[in-house]
Amino acid sequence: MSENQNNATPTVARALGLPAGSSESDMLAAASRLRELEVQLMAIATVESSAEALGALRGMKAKADKADELQKRLSEVEAERDKQNFEAQLQRGLSERKLSPETARLEREKFERRLSEGRGAEAVADLKGFVDVAPTLVAQPRQQPAPSGGGSAPALSWNGKSYAELKPIEKHQLWKENRELFDAMKSEAGRAA
């Protein structure tokens, strides 16, 4: 080896990112890896030179950053849509008397948990499916206040009316909602007549 070659060897090793004193085979292997990397980058970027590959790589990075930004925005929009859809289904369930206030509170907690996991749409679909097929909640009979005096027991009523005051459609509705109260009111009206 000539003296120029010996002086060039540490410089080449440093240029390849190798420690001083690296063997010629280590330097050749590093150079081969770099060349393979260059060829692969040009192939992926479908360009003809290393400079074009570097420019294409910068462009790909900019697109990836923009895609990340758009994905974040999309997630925010989807979460907002899920919240609106959930509220609509919750209100429908309450207005159609298919959800009690307590059930609505539990559904809201479940939705918030799923939304934080990125599964808000699942919670909306679950609630919609439930409200679509759930039965209407039966109204609880209104309790009459206890008598204040020592007189006889108060007459039974439904929605503030005695059995005699109920229209036929109201009697039917009472019969559907609370058969026990219907029977008791009918029996009481029969005894009073």
| CB 26 within 8 Å of CB 32 | no
Is 92 contained in some domain?
yes
**Together in a domain, 129 and 171:** no
- 2 pLDDT more than 70: no
End-of-domain residue from the set 133, 164, 179: 133
φ/ψ (deg, to 5) at 161: -120, 145
Q: What pLDDT score does 153 carry?
A: 59
Whether residue 71 is found in the same domain as residue 41:
no
- The answer as to whether 186 is a domain residue is yes
Confirm whether 30 is domain-assigned. Answer: yes
Residues 129 and 161 placed together within one structural domain of the fold:
no
- pLDDT over 60 (residue 40): yes
- 70 and 128: one domain? yes
- Report yes or no on whether pTM surpasses 0.85: no
Over the chain, what HEC string results?
CCHHHHHHHHHHHHHCCCCCCCCHHHHHHHHHHHHHHHHHHHHHHCCCCHHHHHHHHHHHHHHHHHHHHHHHHHHHHHHHHHHHHHHHHHHHHHHCCCCCHHHHHHHHHHHHHHHHCCCHHHHHHHHHHHHHHCCCCCCCCCCCCCCCCCCCCCCCCECCECCCCCCHHHHHHHHHHCHHHHHHHHHHHHHHC
Q: Which residues contact 130 (CB under 8 A, 6 or more apart)?
A: 93, 98
What pLDDT is stored for residue 130 in this prediction? 93
Q: What pLDDT was estimated at residue 44?
A: 92
39 is in which domain, residue-wise? 8-46
Top-ranked range on mean pLDDT: pick from 18-22, 67-71, 178-182, 186-190: 67-71
Q: Look at residue 57 and tell me if it is in a domain.
A: no
129 lies in the same domain as 86? yes
Any domain includes 142: no
Using 50, 70 and 90 to split pLDDT, how confident is the model at 12?
confident
Q: Is residue 83 a part of any domain in this protein?
A: yes
Contacts of 19 by beta carbon, 8 Å cutoff, 6+ apart? 13
Are 42 and 70 found together in one domain? no
61 lies in a domain?
A: no
Banded pLDDT at 160 (limits 50, 70, 90): confident
State the total domains in the chain: 3
Determine, yes or no, domain membership for 60.
Answer: no
